[in-house]
Amino acid sequence: MYYDDIVDEIKARLDIVDIVSETVRLTRKGSRYWGLCPFHQEKTPSFCVTPEKGMFYCFGCHAGGDIFSFVMKRDGISFKEALELLASKAGVSPSLERFNTKQKDLKRFILQVNKKAAEFYHNNLKSPKGFLAREYLRKRGISDKTIDLFKLGYAPDEWEGLKNFLLAENIPFDYLQKSGLLRKSDKTGNYYDLFRNRIIFPVFQYNGDIIAFGARVLDDSMPKYINSPETEVFSKGRNLYGIFQAREAIRSANEAILVEGYTDCIKLHQSGVQNVVASLGTAFTQEQARLLCRYAEKVVVLYDGDEAGQRSTLKAIDVLTREKLQVYVASIPGRRDPDEYLDLVGKEDFLTFIKNNKISHIEFKINYYLKNKKSLDLEDKIKIINMLKSDISELESELLRDYYIKILAQKLVLEENIVFREIKRENTKKLVFNGNKKQIKRDNIRYDNSSLEDRLIASMLKNGYIFNRIKTELGFGIFKNQTYREICILYDGLEGGTEEKIKKLEQQLIEKGLMAEYARLMMQDIVLIDESGIEKIIKEVLSRKREAALQKLLQKLNSLKDKGDFNAVLRFLVYLDLFLNNRKEGGIK
């Protein structure tokens, strides 16, 4: 059971980037993620994670493997212990299907409470009780499919509806209190439901766990929104609404669109713009920016078009740029929010507007600071330059710095060299061109220096015919790399199709401590050898073997001649003639 279904399900449910990010601060570069290796001291990141292959590898200390071997090495535990730990995270362990009052894992229990609460709210939305809530969502243009995707719900206008439902599910009351879903009355001391007569927006963690809820009234009464309090599993500043639904689209586009509201996020997803997430009703935080770093290099801030939204955009820009993300801004016209503008113009025009009006964060700041200023005195111009000094100085590209200095000079009606000198002041080190330092660009090409042995074993593991040809004609001893020999021996002893055998092989390599070399192999974008190429390799190797064997025979003949043993020489010449004849016919290998 451990070695088949559970392992596959864990790998399907858990993202290696998310698991590694619990320990290592990763930054996306192209299709890979880089960070400082947790297994040895280093100042320059050489630790790489490739999510599509589910592998990590350190080019410094040569540690490597999959999600299981990472946890094993990080925590110093066995494969079985790592499997049980990851099964718990993935929610696939049979022991997690029911509540056990003897268990002490509070986070796990709260997640189970949230899951059942979400089911309660979702079912209520679809029941007669949820008619008005469904009508509200319909008027907002939210479809049934989208309701199911985001598991939207309705909290009925009852004081103890959720409380009684969860108690009937045999959930200990202590865990209901700690989930944040109940509130204690100051007058009576009794507990009642936090959410009543509201649309419910479950907040998903990156792995699909429901960690909190947002709730909106059906009318214009206040407060319009209330949210779950912070609990053992939820912190507003560390999560993003929609990250579970959006993360693969963000990773694919290498770009995230950041909005403010639940409905903005939901409606954009529904329209086909799926790389969208929303902040959770608070100022955008450094932890949220780091979460986006796991999935993309670029972020488009798409906050509301009113003054409050623009001020929030400025704050979000500063947070995002500190994480070295490429930040762009698209300002919705007419002081509207993205949801309203999408309804007004439709999906195609909305996307066209974003594409044509997306500007860099520096251009946004320049425009914002100059907005509503009919004239600028010298003091105003100096203030604006100082407000942009840090942003321009932090740019790594000298060409970009020159470009924005030029734009700023034009906007302020100043000479470029004056703006340059003003920005250069107190930032000399950042603006001096450093042509002697060669930047190390860690990309796929630099580390994909595959050898012929790498290409050969990769081809063997992908193609059963090639594997059997090498095994039969040359044997596994052809590999100088001892680990590759052991991989071949293990693979040869497995049954099933290629995909099934690879899964079994990886599990055995983890247990035998051979996963690092396999990970190094898998991290490379290797050009496989086709069957005709394999035939050439086999002929070349066999030819070299024969030449080597012939040289040994000739050396032995010379040795016999030196000894003067005529009969031995005669017998050896007969054998040599047989060898040469068979060699011509391809008989001796």
Q: What is the spatial distance between Cα 215 and Cα 194, in angstroms, rounded to a whole number? A: 10
Are 404 and 379 in the same domain? yes
Are 36 and 153 in the same domain? no
Q: What is the spatial distance between Cα 346 and Cα 325, in angstroms, rounded to a whole number? A: 29
Are 387 and 499 in the same domain? no
**Is 307 inside a domain boundary?**
no
Summarised one tens digit per residue, pLDDT across range 510-562 is 888 889 989 988 888 788 898 888 898 888 888 877 777 667 766 765 665 66
Domain of 202: which CATH number? 3.90.980.10
**Is 156 inside a domain boundary?**
yes
The distance of Cα 37 from the centroid of its chain, to the nearest Å, equals 17
Q: What is the spatial distance between Cα 509 and Cα 502, in angstroms, rounded to a whole number? A: 10
* DSSP per residue, 226-267: EEPPP-SS--GGG--BTHHHHHHHHHHHTEEEEES-HHHHHH
**Is 43 inside a domain boundary?**
yes
Residue 57 binned pLDDT confidence (cut-offs 50, 70, 90): very high
Give, in degrees to the nearest 5, the angle at Cα 553 between 551 and 556: 110
Most confident residue range from 200-204, 248-252, 320-324: 200-204
Query: Which helix (H) or strand (E) element contains residue 183?
Result: strand 182-184
Give, in degrees to the nearest 5, the angle at Cα 341 between 337 and 346: 150
Are 107 and 219 in the same domain? yes
Q: Which of the pair, 301 or 451, is modelled with greater confidence?
A: 301
List strand residue ranges (DSSP E) for 267-354, in order: 276-278, 298-301, 326-329
CA within 13 Å, CB half, 438: 2
Q: What is the spatial distance between Cα 218 and Cα 421, in angstroms, rounded to a whole number? A: 56
Single-letter residue type at 553? L
On whether the CB atoms of residues 529 and 466 are closer than 8 A, the answer is yes
Summarised one tens digit per residue, pLDDT across range 68-90 is 999 999 998 888 888 888 888 88
**Is 260 inside a domain boundary?**
no
Are 32 and 92 in the same domain? yes
Are 426 and 464 in the same domain? no
Are 109 and 229 in the same domain? yes
- Residue bearing tokens 């004849």: 581
Range of the domain at 112: 99-234
Summarised one tens digit per residue, pLDDT across range 257-290 is 999 989 999 999 999 999 999 988 778 999 899 8
Are 37 and 105 in the same domain? no
Are 459 and 569 in the same domain? no
pLDDT(219) > 70: yes
Summarised one tens digit per residue, pLDDT across range 170-194 is 998 988 999 999 999 988 999 999 9
Lowest mean pLDDT among 149-153, 430-434, 537-541: 430-434
Tell me the CA distances in angstroms from 534 to 313, 462, 469, 490, 589, one per residue in order: 58, 13, 8, 21, 17
Backbone angles phi, psi at 528, to 5 degrees: -70, 155
Counts of helices then strands in the chain (DSSP H, E): 27, 16
Are 219 and 117 in the same domain? yes
On whether the CB atoms of residues 22 and 67 are closer than 8 A, the answer is no
Write out the two tokens for 113.
């409470």
Are 511 and 386 in the same domain? no
Average pLDDT value for the chain: 85
Among the candidates 54, 80, 97, a domain finishes at 97
Nearest-Å Rg of the Cα atoms of the chain is: 32
On whether the CB atoms of residues 285 and 85 are closer than 8 A, the answer is no
Most confident residue range from 20-24, 335-339, 569-573: 20-24
Tell me the CA distances in angstroms from 544 to 225, 538, 580, 582, 585, one per residue in order: 77, 10, 15, 15, 16
Tell me the CA distances in angstroms from 493 to 285, 472, 475, 504, one per residue in order: 52, 15, 14, 10
Among the candidates 234, 255, 272, a domain finishes at 234
Q: What is the spatial distance between Cα 468 and Cα 402, in angstroms, rounded to a whole number? A: 60
Residue 391 binned pLDDT confidence (cut-offs 50, 70, 90): very high
Residues 162, 163, 168, 173, CA torsion sign: positive
Domain of 48: which CATH number? 3.90.580.10
pLDDT(4) > 60: no
Name residue 58's beta-bridge partners: 47
**Is 343 inside a domain boundary?**
no
Using a 10 angstrom Cβ sphere, with 0-12 exposed, 13-18 middle and 19 or more buried, the burial of residue 411 is: middle
Q: What is the spatial distance between Cα 130 and Cα 136, in angstroms, rounded to a whole number? A: 10
CB burial readout 428-466, b (16+ within 10 A) else e: eebbeeeeeeeeeebeeeebeebeeebbbbbbbbebeeb
Q: What pLDDT shows up at residue 573?
A: 63
Among the candidates 97, 117, 139, a domain finishes at 97
**Is 345 inside a domain boundary?**
no
Question: How many other CB atoms are there within 10 angstroms of residue 426's CB atom?
Answer: 11
Q: What pLDDT shows up at residue 570?
A: 62
Name residue 257's beta-bridge partners: 276, 300
pLDDT(439) > 50: no
pLDDT(100) > 70: no
Q: What pLDDT shows up at residue 364?
A: 95
pLDDT(437) > 70: no
pLDDT(587) > 60: no
End-to-end CA distance of the chain: 45
**Is 117 inside a domain boundary?**
yes
**Is 305 inside a domain boundary?**
no
Q: What pLDDT shows up at residue 574?
A: 67
Residues 86, 90, 94, 95, CA torsion sign: positive
Could you give the number of structural domains in the chain? Answer: 5
Are 514 and 537 in the same domain? no
Q: What is the spatial distance between Cα 219 and Cα 236, in angstroms, rounded to a whole number? A: 25
